[in-house]
Structure 1
Amino acid sequence: MKRAFPALLLVATLSGCATSWVVDSDVKSFSAIDTVPAGATYRFERLPSQQANGERQASLEAMAAAALEQVGLRRDDANPRYTAQISARVTTTLSPWADPWLWDGPFGYGYGYGPYGYGRRWYGGGWYGAPVIPQASNPWYEREVGVVLRELGSNRVVYETRARNDGPYTASAAVLPVMFQAALQGFPKPPEGVRRVNIELPTAKKQQ
């Protein structure tokens, strides 16, 4: 089931009309290491499907690189200690707040009940029963990012983390970098289980 509240919250600040934008992510991480050497290095690793879409993957890697740097990992393609595999997806679905029983057709709005269940009311004709089709407006965006770190030499996975978020805004360019930060929060010893990570952004980035 959908969460009871939108995943992207607009919260009023104490300064009056100013608002802040909170991106909330559900994060789950798995770690096989307790500490990371100071100045540890990495290079990006791409799957064949990611190599085929190099421009998009490079954009995602740039987002992830900023988050990796914040937790003490430095990119060094010539002398890496780890490899980092980056993934992300954005899926558009019908908003959980949309009314699935409301029609907006050539005969206007209406509710009805007939042999096929709730459906469209044909005003004036008194006929009910066309199967209902939910409105396609009010899209909802489901996002997920992932980071997998492997130790070079042994090829052992030492860290795996994913962050999920959903909400009504199209601003993936602003949301995905923050989700990578959330995914890496607590590195290299994150809490167990699924946790909620909230990161605040300026409201202006909502429309990016």
Structure 2
Amino acid sequence: MKRAFSALPALLLVATLSGCATSWVVDSDVKSFSSIDTVPAGATYRFERLPSQQANGERQASLEAMAAAALEQVGLRRDDANPRYTAQISARVTTTLSPWADPWLWDGPFGYGYGYGPYGYGRRWYGGGWYGAPMIPQASNPWYEREVGVVLRELGSNRVVYETRARNDGPYTSSAAVLPVMFQAALQGFPKPPEGVRRVNIELPTAKKQQ
């Protein structure tokens, strides 16, 4: 879900996906760079970690497991003993205020404003007129900005042969469900992806949104 939508359709879409829908779409904006035309059948790789990633080994191992499934789908097999490439994996998740949050909500014991509730959009009454706390954006509408990256280097020459990144933003809380799909999107078209930024949509069962 991108911010080009108007607020009302976006709210309806969220309500639909959280209600009766049986599938949902992770839409990623992907940009890739490649210096190879083909990859030998059964090409192997091992993961490479930056010092900062080594310091957070448990999280990095989880990301590498997500990326490994996507790498296998494009014909790359992990082999730490005899790799042809190294794969450097990265991911970032940032929580921000939803673009659909009400900027005119009064957050305090006085005044009233508009806010989101479980059944839609309506007024909230806080009592005492317009002399309340300062107006601030409603903090209960988080928005998640995510980015994943994969960099492949050819061992021996240490040359980067493939670099790709995928970005997504939306209201879904489950990074465990979203990030693996973003790695799939990032590697779509490997090893000769289209030029420029492209939109990659991958559909998942709605149940995964809650994991």
TM-score, normalization by structure 1: 0.85
Give the 3 Å change call, closer, same or farther, for CA 182–99 of structure 1 in structure 2.
Answer: same
Paired with 1:62 and 1:38, the residues of 2 have a C-alpha distance of 21
**1:19 CA drift (Å):** 2.2
Paired with 1:117 and 1:131, the residues of 2 have a C-alpha distance of 24
User: Unmatched 5+ residue regions in structure 1?
Assistant: none
Matched residues, percent identical? 99
Paired with 1:4 and 1:207, the residues of 2 have a C-alpha distance of 25
Paired with 2:89 and 2:11, the residues of 1 have a C-alpha distance of 23
Give the 3 Å change call, closer, same or farther, for CA 122–97 of structure 1 in structure 2.
Answer: closer
**1:61 CA drift (Å):** 0.2
Structure 1 stretch 124-133 or stretch 49-58: which is displaced more?
Answer: 124-133
Q: Report the equivalent of 1:63.
A: 66
Cα displacement string for residues 46-96 of structure 1 (whole angstroms, at most 9, x for unaligned residues): 000000000000000000000000000000000000000000011000000
Q: Report the equivalent of 2:208.
A: 205
Structure 1 stretch 106-115 or stretch 11-20: which is displaced more?
Answer: 106-115
Question: Contact 2:17–2:24 (CA<8 Å) still a contact in 1?
Answer: no
Aligned length: 208
Q: Which structure dedicates a bigger proportion of its chain to strand?
A: 1
Paired with 1:20 and 1:75, the residues of 2 have a C-alpha distance of 31
**In the alignment, which of 171, 176, 192 is matched to residue 173 of structure 1?**
176
Q: Which structure dedicates a bigger proportion of its chain to helix?
A: 2
Paired with 2:117 and 2:82, the residues of 1 have a C-alpha distance of 69
Paired with 2:48 and 2:62, the residues of 1 have a C-alpha distance of 14
Question: Contact 1:101–1:132 (CA<8 Å) still a contact in 2?
Answer: yes
Question: Contact 1:112–1:128 (CA<8 Å) still a contact in 2?
Answer: no
**In the alignment, which of 177, 188, 191 is matched to residue 188 of structure 1?**
191
Q: Which has the larger radius of gyration?
A: 1
Q: What secondary structure, in the 3-state scheme, does the structure 2 residue paired with 1:159 have? A: strand
Give the 3 Å change call, closer, same or farther, for CA 125–62 of structure 1 in structure 2.
Answer: closer
Cα displacement string for residues 135-191 of structure 1 (whole angstroms, at most 9, x for unaligned residues): 211100000000000000111000000000011010110000000000000000000
Question: Contact 1:40–1:81 (CA<8 Å) still a contact in 2?
Answer: yes
Paired with 1:114 and 1:12, the residues of 2 have a C-alpha distance of 12
Paired with 2:112 and 2:102, the residues of 1 have a C-alpha distance of 12
Question: Contact 1:114–1:129 (CA<8 Å) still a contact in 2?
Answer: no
Q: Report the equivalent of 2:159.
A: 156
Cα displacement string for residues 96-117 of structure 1 (whole angstroms, at most 9, x for unaligned residues): 0001122132114249999999
Question: Contact 1:7–1:165 (CA<8 Å) still a contact in 2?
Answer: no
User: Unmatched 5+ residue regions in structure 2?
Assistant: none
Give the 3 Å change call, closer, same or farther, for CA 130–148 of structure 1 in structure 2.
Answer: same
**In the alignment, which of 14, 17, 21 is matched to residue 17 of structure 2?**
14
Structure 1 stretch 171-180 or stretch 115-124: which is displaced more?
Answer: 115-124
RMSD of aligned C-alpha atoms?
Answer: 5.9
Give the 3 Å change call, closer, same or farther, for CA 8–170 of structure 1 in structure 2.
Answer: farther
